[in-house]
Chains A and B, each alone.
Chain A
Amino acid sequence: MTGPALSLRGVEKSFDGFAALKDASFAVDAGEVHALLGENGAGKSTLMNVACGLYAPDAGEVLVGGAPVRLSGPRQAAELGIGMVHQHFKLVRPFSIVDNVVLQGRGAGRRARYGASVEAAAEAIRAQGAALGFSIDPHARVDTLSVAEQQRVEIVRALVAGARILILDEPTAVLAVSDAERLLETLRELAARGTAIVLITHKLADVRRFADRVTVMRGGRTVATVDPAKTETAELTRLTVGDAPLSTVGRTSRVGRRRFEAIDLTCLRRDGAPAVDGASFHVRAGEIYGLAGVSGNGQSELAEALMGLRRVDRGAIQFEDAGQSVEAASPSRLRAYGAAFIPADRYSYALAGGLSVADNYAIGRVRRGDYGPVGWTRRGTIRSDAAAAVEAFDVQGVRSLDQKAALLSGGNAQKLVIAREFGGEPTIVVAQSPSRGLDVRASAAVHGRLAEARDRGAAVLLVSEDLDEVTALADRIGVMSGGKLVAEFEAPFDRQAIGRAMVDHSAPAHDAATAP
């Protein structure tokens, strides 16, 4: 075979008149990790969906090993050795790992008889897993696995099918830092053995540390292919976002009274073990309180409880404006007290993907009666307000207010959520991992909005696993570990001390006396 393992030349693709790819070209060689870098909506995933046969390109060609191919679907792409690990895993959750592998009907797991297929596939899974340093039980059900484990299953499945070109779409976005490191090392190892790896990402740090080459995409075009080791970070940023400057967040604190307070808050997991264990803290008007911690130490459960999405089993949440504790409050009651929520899982808790942009914007204010009485809704006002908010909050990719919200890219969907939540000038804001999965520019916009709310006098709680985000924005930081709030810090922050607090208490805590 000659030429690169996989190359795409002059690919164009449009959806209902919207050009997602314009003359995009890309090539990856066997044995390299080639990063595909770009902002949300730059066309990275679309280009790779063309490469794995999910989309037929409008123009341009796909070459495997130098020979042009026409892909009729992912099945044929797999025959040619192209495997893709999508951002949202394509696994049948109630099935075992081995059944998921047999289901793809190809590669080492393929036999005429189902029983024989299962045995062969189980053997192949163990072998591939061992080669990569994972221990995998092929008969475990997928829905019992953690996200990181499911991702390994996806990779192993592609390898068992004979993938020699492995495409991973934002593989580290869903992983904790340590798991992400481990994954990237695994990918390097695979590359060293001759597999061509395509890594779709928008994390510059990952690119610099793990990629041999990087192709940058912007606005549906491939802008440049460079060696990340020889390119300045500033240059990579400029290629990614264009020449627009990034806004930075300033800090102006005029801290007021306590706006809300968690008192001895406890939430139990389904198995009865505490996820949040007697956490107490308060957030004052005009400050951002950051909750940091290693993933899985109760921060997300705490955030859900504060948003009314999870039952509080003991303790209370107190809102200044309510004048009383609001245990087990529903989201609508909390919102009536002037709270705004930015949940981590946008499409479960913040947006109805199947409904229009206008509906998703209007729902917050319809409830407050801003658009007329129960019996009459002023649709014209909704449309003009929604259009104004889309403009004011810089939500891009809205071709029509009737467009489904699910069609917005992650960053723009988040901006739409913020446009709605901040429209009513909330006095309390709870934001959970608000910039997860967003590119540099969208993250900066989200951070800017949070700081704006703080400067306006709102009490902002920022729950995030990204320590950089928390230290950059927060005025005070609480560290959670094992469901307890183990330490509090005031700005300026000592990152080393925060890091120690996050890790030291990771083991089951028995020194409850350290709680503030």
Chain B
Amino acid sequence: MTDQAMSDQAMSDRAVDRGMTAAAGERGRFRLGRLNVEVRREAGAAWRAFLTAASVALGLGLSAAILVAAGVPAANLVDELLVQTLFDGQNLHAVLFQAAPLMLLGLAAAMAFRVRFWNLGLEGQMIFGGIGATAVSLAGVGPESLRLPMMGLAAIVFGMAWTSVPLLLKLKVGVNEIISTLLLNYVAMNLLFHLLYGAWKDPRDGFPHSPAFAPFETLPTIAFDLSAALVVALAAVAFCVYLLARSRAAIYMRFVEASPSAARALGVPVAGVTIFAVLLSGALASLAGFVIVSGQEGRLTQSFFHGYGVSGVLIAFLARSNPLAAAIVATLMATLYVAGQNLQVFYAIPGAMVQLIQALVVICVAASDFLVRHRVRWVR
């Protein structure tokens, strides 16, 4: 043995001795113990559901504490956040009005995430949906009775065409879609400004928005004074639920998500499945753009898409890319928006507080993942 090896041996002797005495000393005395973290091999569905619920509750609890600190009387908190928002007719209407595009965007993000395509270009796809719908309106394509479906169809076609750019870049030359989708949002936005400040400027008031849509070009309200946007969104939810439960695409998408290399070797048409899911994602996002333009704004505006991209991604994340869960989370998110608006009016709480609450809930749920994957034990 070399001298160096000898001294290593001596050093490790000392290390062992130190560990031994520490262990021996600890046995006699009172001690709190230590945390031992193990990798959990498989977490049950019940445990996962409980963790998600508990972390949402924790996030809301922290938010409540912050709201109280900001001056909302603790006694009014539940009343303001839930009762007033959900049991007041006008507010409930506002919640459902908000929920429709959020559902579509949550689904859009979820579908892309299911095939490992991190679509951060939801806003750009919304913009193209809005541009497509408006183009049909301005050109006066088709009879009046068919105008609205034509606008919706054009929105989808434009949105899918826009989405195919980062999709093909990824499939053909391996461009990272996180970067390309994100940056293409700015390209779409500048194209929108180019149109609104130029060719599509409203000739009546000279403002940078398109001329108002005719009544037959706006989404009608249906029973109970609800917008048809909600019907479109719920139909999309039902389609996605069916798709992921019963279609052959469901098992293909699961394999592409879980292991692209195994999927390819097992004969799953990986490229085809990816193209299908990502174009579906783009179609859903552009449909969201369409329902906002046609159902809420009544014309193409400069900022109709603002902030929806992040919300869509957050909804898909909180819903773990499950379409039914996305619909529920989108409704909760809409509740939060409306409650936030009320808080703003009555207690002068800044609008950023809504984003803070959103962020707290998301951080709590994200952190709970650790407990899904690991088991923490107390070693006494």
Name B44's closest neighbour in chain A (CB-CB).
A16
Quick one: CB contact mask for A377-389 with B, threshold 8 Å, 1 for yes?
A: 1010000000000
The answer on a CB contact under 8 Å between A355 and B41 is no
The answer on a CB contact under 8 Å between B259 and A79 is no
When distances are taken between beta carbons in the complex, the residues of chain A under 8 Å from B246 are 375-377, 379
Q: Does B34 lie at the interface of the complex (its beta carbon under 8 Å from any beta carbon of A)?
A: yes
Name A106's closest neighbour in chain B (CB-CB).
B15
When distances are taken between beta carbons in the complex, the residues of chain B under 8 Å from A79 are 15-16, 18-19
Q: How far is the CA of A162 from the CA of B15 in the complex (A)?
A: 8
Name A349's closest neighbour in chain B (CB-CB).
B265
Contact of B250 among A65, A341, A352, A377 (CB under 8 A): A377
Name A421's closest neighbour in chain B (CB-CB).
B266
Q: Does B247 lie at the interface of the complex (its beta carbon under 8 Å from any beta carbon of A)?
A: yes
Given A67-B23, A128-B5, residue A349 in contact with residue B262 (CB < 8 A): yes
Q: Does A364 lie at the interface of the complex (its beta carbon under 8 Å from any beta carbon of B)?
A: yes
Given A353-B259, A359-B251, residue A164 in contact with residue B19 (CB < 8 A): no
The answer on a CB contact under 8 Å between B379 and A56 is yes
When distances are taken between beta carbons in the complex, the residues of chain A under 8 Å from B252 are 366
Q: Does B352 lie at the interface of the complex (its beta carbon under 8 Å from any beta carbon of A)?
A: no
Given A80-B20, A353-B258, A404-B42, residue A124 in contact with residue B379 (CB < 8 A): no
In angstroms, how far is the closest chain B Cβ from the Cβ of A10?
17
Q: How far is the CA of A244 from the CA of B259 in the complex (A)?
A: 37
Contact of A359 among B20, B24, B254, B264 (CB under 8 A): B254
Quick one: CB contact mask for A146-165 with B, threshold 8 Å, 1 for yes?
A: 00000000000001111110
Contact of B23 among A70, A163, A330, A348 (CB under 8 A): A70
The answer on a CB contact under 8 Å between A343 and B265 is yes
Q: How far is the CA of A161 from the CA of B9 in the complex (A)?
A: 10
Q: Does B176 lie at the interface of the complex (its beta carbon under 8 Å from any beta carbon of A)?
A: no
In angstroms, how far is the closest chain B Cβ from the Cβ of A298?
20
When distances are taken between beta carbons in the complex, the residues of chain B under 8 Å from A343 are 265
Given A124-B8, A352-B255, residue A407 in contact with residue B268 (CB < 8 A): no
Quick one: CB contact mask for B37-69 with A, threshold 8 Å, 1 for yes?
A: 111011010000000000000000000000000
When distances are taken between beta carbons in the complex, the residues of chain A under 8 Å from B135 are none
When distances are taken between beta carbons in the complex, the residues of chain A under 8 Å from B4 are 123-124, 127
When distances are taken between beta carbons in the complex, the residues of chain B under 8 Å from A15 are 41-42
Contact of A70 among B42, B247, B268, B379 (CB under 8 A): B379
Q: Does B75 lie at the interface of the complex (its beta carbon under 8 Å from any beta carbon of A)?
A: no
When distances are taken between beta carbons in the complex, the residues of chain B under 8 Å from A107 are 8, 11-12, 15
Quick one: CB contact mask for B241-265 with A, threshold 8 Å, 1 for yes?
A: 0000011111110110011011111
Name B261's closest neighbour in chain A (CB-CB).
A348
Q: Does A43 lie at the interface of the complex (its beta carbon under 8 Å from any beta carbon of B)?
A: no
Q: How far is the CA of A362 from the CA of B252 in the complex (A)?
A: 11
Quick one: CB contact mask for B264-297 with A, threshold 8 Å, 1 for yes?
A: 1111110000000000000000000000000000
Given A127-B8, A128-B8, A376-B246, residue A407 in contact with residue B42 (CB < 8 A): yes
The answer on a CB contact under 8 Å between A348 and B262 is yes
The answer on a CB contact under 8 Å between A376 and B247 is yes
Q: Does B173 lie at the interface of the complex (its beta carbon under 8 Å from any beta carbon of A)?
A: no
The answer on a CB contact under 8 Å between A363 and B19 is no
Contact residues, A358-410 vs B (CB, 8 A):
359, 362-364, 366-367, 372-377, 379, 403-404, 407
When distances are taken between beta carbons in the complex, the residues of chain A under 8 Å from B18 are 79
Q: Does A489 lie at the interface of the complex (its beta carbon under 8 Å from any beta carbon of B)?
A: no
A-B Cβ contacts below 8 A, count: 166
When distances are taken between beta carbons in the complex, the residues of chain A under 8 Å from B19 are 64, 69, 76, 79-81
The answer on a CB contact under 8 Å between A64 and B20 is yes
In angstroms, how far is the closest chain A Cβ from the Cβ of B310?
27
The answer on a CB contact under 8 Å between A81 and B377 is no
When distances are taken between beta carbons in the complex, the residues of chain A under 8 Å from B259 are 347-348, 351-355
Given A80-B20, A130-B2, A376-B247, residue A16 in contact with residue B42 (CB < 8 A): yes
Contact of B267 among A67, A335, A359, A404 (CB under 8 A): A335
Q: Does A55 lie at the interface of the complex (its beta carbon under 8 Å from any beta carbon of B)?
A: yes
Contact of B265 among A76, A159, A307, A373 (CB under 8 A): A307
The answer on a CB contact under 8 Å between B20 and A65 is yes
Q: Does A350 lie at the interface of the complex (its beta carbon under 8 Å from any beta carbon of B)?
A: yes
When distances are taken between beta carbons in the complex, the residues of chain A under 8 Å from B15 are 79-81, 106-107, 162
Contact of B258 among A55, A127, A331, A355 (CB under 8 A): A355
Q: Does A108 lie at the interface of the complex (its beta carbon under 8 Å from any beta carbon of B)?
A: yes
Q: How far is the CA of A351 from the CA of B261 in the complex (A)?
A: 9
Q: Does B303 lie at the interface of the complex (its beta carbon under 8 Å from any beta carbon of A)?
A: no
Q: Does A193 lie at the interface of the complex (its beta carbon under 8 Å from any beta carbon of B)?
A: yes
The answer on a CB contact under 8 Å between A162 and B24 is no
Contact residues, B10-30 vs A (CB, 8 A):
11-12, 15-16, 18-20, 23-24, 27
The answer on a CB contact under 8 Å between A162 and B8 is yes
Given A67-B20, A79-B15, residue A131 in contact with residue B2 (CB < 8 A): yes
Q: How far is the CA of A366 from the CA of B266 in the complex (A)?
A: 11
When distances are taken between beta carbons in the complex, the residues of chain A under 8 Å from B34 are 70, 72
Contact of A72 among B35, B264, B266 (CB under 8 A): B35
In angstroms, how far is the closest chain B Cβ from the Cβ of A371?
8
The answer on a CB contact under 8 Å between B258 and A352 is yes
The answer on a CB contact under 8 Å between B267 and A127 is no
The answer on a CB contact under 8 Å between A363 and B265 is no
Given A362-B251, A367-B267, residue A73 in contact with residue B261 (CB < 8 A): no
Given A73-B36, A107-B8, A162-B12, residue A366 in contact with residue B379 (CB < 8 A): no
Name B242's closest neighbour in chain A (CB-CB).
A375
Q: How far is the CA of A379 from the CA of B261 in the complex (A)?
A: 25
Q: Could you pull out 6 A-B pairs where Cβ atoms are within 8 angstroms? A: A54-B38, A81-B15, A81-B19, A124-B8, A355-B258, A376-B246
Closest 8 CB pairs between A and B? A162-B12, A332-B267, A127-B4, A352-B258, A349-B265, A352-B259, A72-B34, A354-B258
